[in-house]
Amino acid sequence: MSLSDKEIIKRLEALAAKVAAQVMRGRPPYIEIPVRSFSNTIWDEKRKILRLGPAKARREFLDSKEVKKFMQTLLMLSLIVTARREGDYPTIRDLYYMGKHTITYRDINGRPRKEETWNEQRESNSIIEDIEVAVGILREDMGIMHDAKGKMVGNVIIRSKGHIIDCSKMGIGAYAIPPNPDRLEIIKVEADYVLVIEKDAIFERLNQEEFWKRENCVLITGKGQPDRATRRMVRRLWEEFGLPIYVLTDADPYGWYIYSVYRSGSISLSYESEKLACPEVRFIGVAASDIEAYKIPKNYVIIATDRDLKRANEMMKYPWFQSEAWQHELKLFLKRKEKVEIEALSGHGFKFLSNVYIPEKIEKRLWII
Amino acid sequence: MSLSDKEIIKRLEALAAKVAAQVMRGRPPYIEIPVRSFSNTIWDEKRKILRLGPAKARREFLDSKEVKKFMQTLLMLSLIVTARREGDYPTIRDLYYMGKHTITYRDINGRPRKEETWNEQRESNSIIEDIEVAVGILREDMGIMHDAKGKMVGNVIIRSKGHIIDCSKMGIGAYAIPPNPDRLEIIKVEADYVLVIEKDAIFERLNQEEFWKRENCVLITGKGQPDRATRRMVRRLWEEFGLPIYVLTDADPYGWYIYSVYRSGSISLSYESEKLACPEVRFIGVAASDIEAYKIPKNYVIIATDRDLKRANEMMKYPWFQSEAWQHELKLFLKRKEKVEIEALSGHGFKFLSNVYIPEKIEKRLWII
């Protein structure tokens, strides 16, 4: 799956080489970067993912408004190329510090001036994302590290650094998904489906009772809003092994949005959807309509906050929530103003979730898309 | 290490049996629970841990101020015993929902009244902690699940559910520490020390470059303020295998407090220190004095906030920060009002942390306790 370090260095160098060529020809140099703003985010109806539009922006060296970003882009590019050449794995924060220094210069009136290459990590992170889009390589594949939240367990066999890792032999623990899952070789998967669980504690509980063994599935959690690595792993299991993917979250707009991030991508990372989104993901609950369908006791129900209602109203308008089923769910939520957590199902007994709710939703095809 | 389910059930039943015996003898029943408040938290100078004092409180059935907690304690006890008898692994939130119901009764004037068994998870969590203290068993060992943040990698071999798990063969991933690490059998450890890293991204970076292999150590991260499972795993590696434990955090009061939680325990969980604290933990940085010692460039330094300064002032007074070295560090911090992140060391090159800083601190015994 993943590109070799050699190929990655080649692509990064190619971007820099364009600038060098401009300089050599005596032309004012610029770098062309696809625009990552909301205005250039497109809902691809056919492929059911959010993706980046065609707009590109030029960063001109000779434009006083652009020159700082031009400098930042080349600075970051050189840091990333150096790290790859030397086999280093900096974090995004390392790159911020590595590149941070004070530039001293004289302004047009000859006065000495000082300026930082960047002042906040937000700036350097944004440049890393620009480079990802410009060269079409995930930062993870460029060897850039960050936090990794995901865990996995089930009949998945992986090869990495010469070792064979059997995710069905983790005992009561689990396999912690690395930040760069494309560098894992998934050599064998024997499972009927993947169950993605919003909440880590529920993941742990289902792992303790070996739900994945009984149901022949793979369990994954991204601990709330998933990170890129967890999304990439889910995507690979779908894309390379054709597994159906089911998502289980709390019954609230926050949980439902998590489902949509796995499925369609997120607005802020739309340029990565083609690698991270998984447009056949199915939502198995907990849905707003489950509160009645599964007779969840009144005293387990939580009153929705104004923020929940605002969020649901926004989601009603998103192109990827336009299905009849989702519109029905969101309207029901806005009408009832009630939410519940996955754990509310425990009112029917500890094993209700694993013995009844999940198997029933899957067997009877009660999912929502 | 861990108690069998049978033994756990026996201990829980013994607590309930005392109450039953009181009733059978026609006495007003009560439950005796050690007091978990700050006033009953003792700094054990000799053992260098925070621990619970001798105070106990009685929850009397016939005391109108106590009866609700009496009821909650027996309710929770029955939920936990039932789960253990049936081999269930509820989360703390499951237990909240399982136990939540409305009690209807008539008050002394004959008026019908309603009251919830509990209204917030805070209440049911607190009762779980009471039961832990009363029976002297960690909730993890009672099969109660919760989030687990920790990851581990290195020459550690574990047996769990009949599988042999070799934490040196996780490839670019890691072993996700389960919520109940006492149920892991650690069968072999071949390492010179344990390095506990505050930040997950740094853990990932050191894992990518196989720092643990080169240095023959075990890497663990608890992702910021550690959870109980990570602390328990660290403690077991120290207690059962005699490994020195080094902690690496950012140079700020938040990071230094994390070190002290691994070492001495936390005020809110002082009753667990005897199982979770690890009084020989050594702090290898980043220290306030490192800012000068390692010539960290001025523009990497962050100005301390008022909150940082307030925190440092509080920490100056904690008995477990009274060593000359720590008093010096805290005073220096309060004087300079400067903090830095671990990643600021990258200013000396990506590999400075792993090739120079950590090995030097350990070899030259530059740690602080």
Cα–Cα distance measured from residue A290 to residue A338, given in angstroms and rounded to the nearest whole number: 11
**pLDDT at residue number A124:** 96
Q: Could you report the per-residue pLDDT of B15-68, keeping only the tens digit for each?
A: 999 999 999 999 999 999 999 888 888 889 888 888 889 999 999 999 989 999
Q: Does the CB of B120 have a partner CB in chain A at under 8 Å?
A: no
- What CATH code would you report for B190-363? 3.40.1360.10
Set A97, A259, A294, A300: catalytic member:
A97
Nearest to A258 by CA among A269, A267, A249: A249
Question: Tokens in use for B241?
Answer: 């295998």
Out of B83, B163, B201, name the one closest to residue A350 (CB). B83
The pLDDT score that the predictor gives to residue B1 is 54
Q: Which of B30, B89, B96, B97 is catalytic?
A: B97
DSSP of B31-58, one letter per residue?
EEEE--SGGGEEEETTTTEEEE-S-EEE
pTM passes above 0.80: yes
Measured distance CA(A223)–CA(A203) in Å, rounded: 9
CATH class of A5-135: mainly alpha
ipTM of the complex: 0.91
Q: Do A175 and B172 touch (CB under 8 A)?
A: no
| Chains A & B: contacts with CB separation below 8 Å | 199
DSSP B251: B
Grade residue A236 by pLDDT with cuts at 50, 70 and 90: very high
Give the per-residue pLDDT at A232. 95
Q: Is A354 exposed, middle or buried (0-12, 13-18, 19+ CB in 10 A)?
A: buried
Q: With an 8 Å Cβ cutoff, are B171 and A178 in contact?
A: yes
Say whether pLDDT at A1 is over 80: no
Q: Per-residue pLDDT tens for A319-363?
A: 999 999 999 999 999 999 999 999 999 888 889 999 999 999 999
Compute how many other C-beta atoms are within 10 angstroms of the C-beta atom of residue A110: 6
The Cα of B96 is separated from the nearest Cα of chain A by a number of Å equal to 9
Interface list for B 307-366 with A (CB within 8 A) = 341, 343-344, 346-347, 350-351
For chain A, give every domain's residue range. Answer: 5-135, 151-363
Q: Which of B140, B350, B352, B354 to mutate to test the interface with A (most CBs of A within 10 A)?
A: B350
Tell whether the model's pLDDT for residue B336 goes beyond 60.
yes
pLDDT digits (tens, 9 = 90+) for A243-302: 999 999 999 999 999 999 999 988 777 888 888 999 999 999 999 999 999 999 988 999
Tell me, what amino acid is at B307? Answer: R
A97 is a catalytic site residue: yes
Is 3.40.1360.10 the CATH classification of the domain at A151-363?
yes
CB contact under 8 A, B346 and A209: no
- The partner residue sitting opposite B205, judged by closest CB among A89, A96, A341, is A89
Nearest residue to B230 via CA among B300, B156, B180, B297: B180
Chain A within 8 Å of B295 (Cβ-Cβ)? no
